[in-house]
Amino acid sequence: MALPSVAAERTVFRFDIPERSAPDYGASSVGLVRLTGTEEMLASERADGERMALAYHLAMTALREVNGKPVSLSDGTVDEFLLGCDPRLRSLVLQAYAHIHNAEDDDTKDFLGSCKATVG
């Protein structure tokens, strides 16, 4: 199944990379999209039950731009970037994925606090 490309209907969240986190790599920004449920499931299948691999596959699937230029799983440019970059930069990309996919603390608190139980 092909992954959707960066398109007008998908918001790309761009992050500037601090110079100290990408020494000698030349990367100045990355762009990620929020994943669809299907994309999350495909990443999970590729991770084959490995937790650390799941985090990488989710971030790799969400990563769509480096320095404003498209990258893709299908042509290997995502792998080339993430597996070849400084570990601090990989960590930032993983954190960027979490940042755009996780609910805010207040939203989580309100959601969980709204729980009502009924019997029958």
Q: What is the DSSP string of 48-81?
A: TT-HHHHHHHHHHHHEEEETTEE--TTTTHHHHH
Alpha carbons 101 and 86: distance in angstroms, whole number: 23
Q: CA-to-CA distance for 107 and 113, rounded, in angstroms?
A: 10
- Which amino acid does the sequence have at 30? V
Under the banding of pLDDT at 50, 70 and 90, the label for residue 3 is low
Q: With left for phi above 0 and alpha for psi between -120 and 50, is residue 33 left, alpha or beta?
A: beta
Query: Which range, 1-5, 8-12, 63-67, has the best average confidence (pLDDT)?
Result: 63-67
- End-to-end alpha carbon distance in the chain: 42
As given in the structure block, the two tokens for residue 102 are: 């996780």
Chain-centroid distance, C-alpha 115: 29
Helix or strand run (H / E) with residue 108? helix 105-113
In the predicted structure, residue 12 carries a pLDDT above the cut 60: yes
Residue with the bigger pLDDT between 25 and 119: it is 119
What pTM was computed for the model? 0.82
Other CB atoms within 10 A of residue 13 CB: 17
Sign, CA torsion 57/59/62/65 = negative
What's the chain's average pLDDT? 89
